[in-house]
Amino acid sequence: MPAVSKGDGMRGLAVFISDIRNCKSKEAEIKRINKELANIRSKFKGDKALDGYSKKKYVCKLLFIFLLGHDIDFGHMEAVNLLSSNKYTEKQIGYLFISVLVNSNSELIRLINNAIKNDLASRNPTFMCLALHCIANVGSREMGEAFAADIPRILVAGDSMDSVKQSAALCLLRLYKASPDLVPMGEWTARVVHLLNDQHMGVVTAAVSLITCLCKKNPDDFKTCISLAVSRLSRIVSSASTDLQDYTYYFVPAPWLSVKLLRLLQCYPPPEDAAVKGRLVECLETVLNKAQEPPKSKKVQHSNAKNAILFETISLIIHYDSEPNLLVRACNQLGQFLQHRETNLRYLALESMCTLASSEFSHEAVKTHIETVINALKTERDVSVRQRAVDLLYAMCDRSNAPQIVAEMLSYLETADYSIREEIVLKVAILAEKYAVDYTWYVDTILNLIRIAGDYVSEEVWYRVIQIVINRDDVQGYAAKTVFEALQAPACHENLVKVGGYILGEFGNLIAGDPRSSPLIQFNLLHSKFHLCSVPTRALLLSTYIKFVNLFPEVKPTIQDVLRSDSQLRNADVELQQRAVEYLRLSTVASTDILATVLEEMPPFPERESSILAKLKKKKGPSTVTDLEDTKRERSVDVNGGPEPAPASTSAMSTPSPSADLLGLGAAPPAPAGPPPSSGGGGLLVDVFSDSASVVAPLAPGSEDNFARFVCKNNGVLFENQLLQIGLKSEFRQNLGRMFIFYGNKTSTQFLNFTPTLICSDDLQPNLNLQTKPVDPTVEGGAQVQQVVNIECVSDFTEAPVLNIQFRYGGTFQNVSVQLPITLNKFFQPTEMASQDFFQRWKQLSNPQQEVQNIFKAKHPMDTEVTKAKIIGFGSALLEEVDPNPANFVGAGIIHTKTTQIGCLLRLEPNLQAQMYRLTLRTSKEAVSQRLCELLSAQF
């Protein structure tokens, strides 16, 4: 073995590590470490100056001791001194020690920054890389502020070495992720895009990672990367494994770079240039073709790399959702994976097909695999794969296959894992309602659901079946007969007793003519379950009994005896006792007419969103439910005969899809400008004889309250009357936004000349650009139409646009106006700040014109969690452990407009004793402070 020179090896370090490994006990190890620490401390404090080698050796020992889990409280200065050495090994150890041990708040940061600055200016590529690695590893805000402007220059400099460019790109990415506000966008952004053409594949890979992160917040600045990314991807995909030898992984050329390029393309809509789009489609087809080729290696690494590119390609095809041929091919390729022996591939195939099922181009292709998916549901060993199979069956379900899918899910439910039973119950209930043509099938399905998985049937499910039975005359008799038969089973789930009690109480008279279901038999059947039920169910059954008194006078004495019994009148539960006393008295003193009036049949329920769907959205997350529902090709009318509801879930808004064209503000004609809302009188029906579009109705009653509710949320029902429902779903990013307005016709009659118009006042027009897509002038009864509004905030504003809807209903002219909830806070981007930075910025905004304060009485209960949710929903970041008083709430963010960015700090101080709040807002613009304060104050 060749001797190790003093400059290259550290014998003392090797001996120390050997001693530690040879220690027989923890005590012996601590003793040896303490001895070494004492020796190192004496060397550092000694009169004799240490040479670079000795410093490096002792710093290495300290680093090793730290990695063993012991605290190190000295040696930092010696490590900093190593940074000034001209020897690579000494400088490397110095940077390594600093990266691991130096705290970002250390007093030595200034000295370290000076050393880093010297190395970056040295033009020595090795030293520059060490400095860049250190900046990335420490990643503190102080280092970001010191070097954020220098690193982009190094990255795009023509004389920078490839290794330096690579390190600079990754370092800048680290700083941007830690503190986005510190990285300035400038002329370098256009030049960094051209790194995608660099000859060095490592530089390209690092640049793609950086651009992908940057373009998510600044898409316009990096739009030119699309053509370059397609060009680079085309070269990789069409190359042989020998062409990129240094970057070929198990016969797959540059798999990591290919995946990164495909992900970068998913940040943008399909290319507008026909040549670029054609080249990209050719690339995607090539990847799909290669997936069909026999593998070039049996190694798992080869198949992993190949499949990684394939799945990312399919993700891009799904994202574009514009190439029918590619979508169908992707679906067929995924279908082959459904029976693959590798569990992960089966899981990924099912997950991707769930998204494909929502595309109008590939929905039918997905349905061809229904038998395979059902088989996976029955035979798959892994529960997570079975869960994805349930999701796919739910996604591919439509009117043609609903009975089969619902039957299979019910069959699986009997043996399903307990963790996913509730979710399956919700999905079966939704599908049975959504695609029920024969409502007797719907009733049978829900009762079967309760029988199989009663413990997992939530209140929302049995509430919904009762709503539907009450709203549909044609199913009431069948429902009464079916629940009566189901209740005859020796053991019934309590949810079945609830449904049976409610339906028999309302419609038991429809089956009372049959001697087998006479009134007394109905009563005895229900009362036999009474003592086995919980208090809420008993309360419901008591209400059923008093309904029987009205429906069947012949059982009145029997029911009065039950109500009069001590077990009811002296029940320990106050609710049961009160009901028994009141119902007994009502049945005794009230005349037949009064009883018939008080206990008349329940009226139909108003049309509204299915609470089951809302629960599923809350359980699964909106992105897995809402998107599939919104993009289904078959928008069916719900069971109650109303339109598919506008997204009104109170769950969090789904993450904007990368395909959402927030930048396509020029894609639609501008909204027709109209006069401001009239302040004159007039109600919903403005003029029954005229279609005059010049008359704009005043704001509808309750419009202001609905508007205020949307300040801190983006989805919900904006307006509803007996004819029309208006729902909203919106998303905002920086100064751009997109709003989906859903108009639902709640009647069975057409709306004619249906004309929605967006009206901006003269003051609002220069500050807010609104562009809409036209709506079909005829809205069928029970149907729903959607209108898309693209929004651009040019400058700060205080007013809100008005949405005016005019149409003819049954020959009568209708005119409705509501405020559209586009408020300044929608263009808020949250900003995380440390306590020191917050109060430093707070002091900078201390001019009287920059601060607005409001002290006001709480209008709602002062709940901490609700307050936090409202501040986050308002758009700002909620900063924890910033305010000295933990009861106070502190937030920070930036209002983005086309012309400027306005930083905003807020502080909310609750006083629980006085039931009051003090809200303080500081921004660089008085009008913005005033408007934000008005909007936020109204929420508490």
| Bind-site residues | 11-12, 43, 53, 57-61
CA distance 201 to 222: 20
CA distance 480 to 486: 10
Amino acid at 634: E
In three-state form (DSSP H/G/I as H, E/B as E, the rest C), the secondary structure along 629-666 is HHHCCCCCCCCCCCCCCCCCCCCCCCCCCCCCCCCCCC
**Burial bucket for residue 913 (CB in 10 Å: 0-12, 13-18, 19+):** exposed
Amino acid at 338: L
Q: Which residue has the tokens 């100064």?
A: 735
How far is residue 361 CA from its own chain's centroid? 25
Helix, coil or strand: residue 921: strand
What are the Cα distances from residue 355, in Å, to 241, 384, 770, 873?
32, 17, 31, 28
What are the Cα distances from residue 379, in Å, to 345, 375, 415, 416, 516?
16, 6, 11, 12, 44
CA distance 257 to 247: 9
Q: What DSSP designation does 891 have?
A: E
**Burial bucket for residue 836 (CB in 10 Å: 0-12, 13-18, 19+):** exposed
The DSSP code sequence of 36-61 is HHHHHHHHHHSSSPPPHHHHHHHHHH
What are the Cα distances from residue 733, in Å, to 182, 446, 583, 630?
19, 42, 57, 21
CA distance 128 to 72: 28
CA distance 415 to 405: 16
The DSSP code sequence of 369-407 is THHHHHHHHHH---HHHHHHHHHHHHHH--TTTHHHHHH
The DSSP code sequence of 454-519 is GGG--HHHHHHHHHHHHH-HHHHHHHHHHHHHHTTSSS--HHHHHHHHHHHHHHGGGTTTSGGG-H
Q: Which residue has the tokens 């000034």?
A: 84
The C-alpha angle 155, 160, 163, rounded to 5 degrees, equals: 85
Q: Which residue has the tokens 């299979």?
A: 408
CA distance 695 to 827: 32
Q: What DSSP designation does 721 have?
A: -
CA distance 534 to 859: 36
Q: Which residue has the tokens 């109008």?
A: 360
Work out the number of other CB atoms within 10 angstroms of the CB of residue 358.
20
CB 101 within 8 A of CB 67: no
Helix, coil or strand: residue 7: coil
Spatial CB neighbours of 434, under 8 Å, sequence gap ≥ 6: 402, 636, 638, 639
Measured over the CA atoms of residue 37, residue 39, residue 40 and residue 44, the dihedral's sign is: positive
β-strands 736-745, 715-720 pairing: unpaired
CA-based radius of gyration for the chain: 35
The C-alpha angle 596, 599, 602, rounded to 5 degrees, equals: 120
The two structure tokens encoding residue 733 = 């990013």
β-strands 889-896, 901-911 pairing: antiparallel
